[in-house]
Amino acid sequence: MWDRLITDCHVATLVAEPGNPLGLFPNAAIGIVDGRIVRVGKRAELAGFRAREVVALGGAWITPGLIDCHTHLVFGGTRANEHAMRRAGASYEEIANAGGGIASTVADTKAASADELRDSARRRLHALMAGGVTTIEIKSGYGLDTASEIRLLNTAKAIGRDEAVRIVPTLLALHALPPGEDRDAYVKMVAEEMIPAVARAGIATSVDAFCETIAFTPAEVERIFVAARANGLSVRLHAEQLSNQHGAALAASYKALSVDHLEHLDALGARAMASAGTVAVLLPGAYYALQETRKPPVQLLRDQGVPIAIATDCNPGTSPLLSPTLAINMACTLFGLTPEEAIAGMTINAARALGLAHDIGTIEAGKAADLCVWRIDQINELAYWIGLPGPERRIYAGVDR
């Protein structure tokens, strides 16, 4: 006997097939046992199966639970003052060079108590969950020393223990250089102390870095990648956001799960990503908040066959975005993605960016029963409405949450 039979619904399975990129399955039903999908089929075909609970949805649409594959959710304070500075004309680099940016959040984060960090992060988490998120990646990066980074990763894990959500912690090992710190000594510490400590503690699955003129060089990033791989951790990279440092090609050479931002990506980098199976994670919230004018080369990514994911990049300075459906809409209106591409970008391709496509991101037998029920007439409305409030039901591990 099944635990649940969800019926009278239309399903976007995200199992792509020719002419049906979202795997649309009208008049469908879904069987669930022990928090996992056991069958997806026509409503009439599954009607004879017994289940402890039968839920008729009256023609609603179901998608996989949304996956936010790039966030910086745990931090102290805000940077609302920088929003005002940008409106007055200050650039990202000017704010950083004036002592703002990441450095100011590091100071606020270190000053925050454990309770303050947990409570503020949980509020942001609840907003994203209300929007349909069932899996969320959370980066560290606002500690800049081993003990502080471990504190942030433990906080990320802690806020998920009592919540119906899957937390994927990432060590953002190279985010910014601490004031007054010797560059070489700091990178060496991260590679030889921080990454091994995090790996031993088992509190992150991957290592990230910020490769940019105002952050870290490709050579410095490569030292971190070598250490990550030696300690059994996957790698990801913030790259090609403000300039082309050829970080994408470097990341691809280490089989990175994803490269994120990519406004200045070139053909060489795109080809390398395609060859490595590395996902391009586009972050329209940052593009919007920073009032950038150079868009990621979406057509280049399409032409090379690079999977495209979408994320909120929720962070205090450059993307204070708490709506996954708004990120989907922005990906279409700002970057020119099709609705199908944007929806796939926050489901199956986001799962690929986290190395979790074997378990989440599609609706098919064997996958986790993480689902969103949307009271809409057609699936493209997920990309059409500006600020859609969220799903009618959010199902995590087979249960309404």
Please write the tens of the pLDDT for every residue from 3-26: 999 999 999 999 999 999 999 999
Q: What is the pLDDT of residue 159?
A: 94
Length of the chain: 401
146-161 and 102-111 helices, crossing angle to 10°: 70
- Going by pLDDT thresholds of 50, 70 and 90, the confidence category of residue 86 is confident
3-state secondary structure of 395: strand
Alpha carbon distance 241, 245 (integer Å):
9
User: Which amino acid, 395?
Assistant: I
pTM over cut 0.85? yes
CB 348 within 8 A of CB 64: yes
- CA dist list (Å): 245 to 287, 299, 385: 18, 20, 36
**Identity of residue 224:** I
Closest to 210 measured CA to CA, from 176, 252, 245: 176
Straight-line distance from the first to the last Cα atom of the chain, in angstroms, rounded to the nearest whole number: 22
Tokens describing residue 386: 């500006």
Where residue 399 falls among pLDDT bands split at 50, 70, 90? very high
pLDDT at 95: 76
Phi, psi of 101 (to 5 degrees): 70, -145
At residue 37, the pLDDT reads: 98
Which two structure tokens, joined as six digits, stand for 363? 């609706």
Q: Note the pLDDT tens digit of each residue in 283-317.
A: 999 999 989 999 999 999 999 999 999 999 999 99
Q: Residue 93: which residues within 8 A CB-CB, separation 6 or more?
A: 214, 242
Identity at 313, one-letter amino acid code? D
- Which regions of the chain carry the CATH code 2.30.40.10? 2-65+361-400
Query: Can you tell me whether residue 383 is helix, strand or coil?
Result: helix
Q: Please, which residues bridge with residue 253 across strands?
A: none
Summary count for the chain: helices (H), strands (E)? 17, 15
CA dist 10 and 58 (Å) reads: 9
Q: Is 169 helix (H, G, I), strand (E, B) or coil?
A: strand
pLDDT band at residue 371, thresholds of 50, 70 and 90?
A: very high
Task: Please state, as a whole number, how many other Cβ atoms lie within 10 Å of the Cβ of residue 360.
Answer: 21
Residue 164 above 90 pLDDT?
Answer: yes
- For the 66-353 domain, the top CATH level (class) is alpha beta
Residue with tokens 């980074």: 149
Q: Does residue 361 contact residue 16 with C-beta atoms inside 8 Å?
A: no
Q: What is the pLDDT of residue 11?
A: 98
Every domain range in the chain assigned CATH 3.20.20.140: 66-353
Residue 169 in contact with residue 141, Cβ under 8 Å? no
The CATH class for the domain spanning 2-65+361-400 reads mainly beta
pLDDT band at 91 (very low <50, low <70, confident <90, very high): confident
In angstroms, rounded to a whole number, what is the distance separating the alpha carbons of residues 371 and 61? 10
Contact 235, 228 (CB under 8 A): yes
Angle among Cα 121, 73, 150 to the nearest 5 degrees reads 90
Check residue 34 and give its pLDDT.
98
Q: How many whole angstroms separate alpha carbon 399 and alpha carbon 401? A: 6
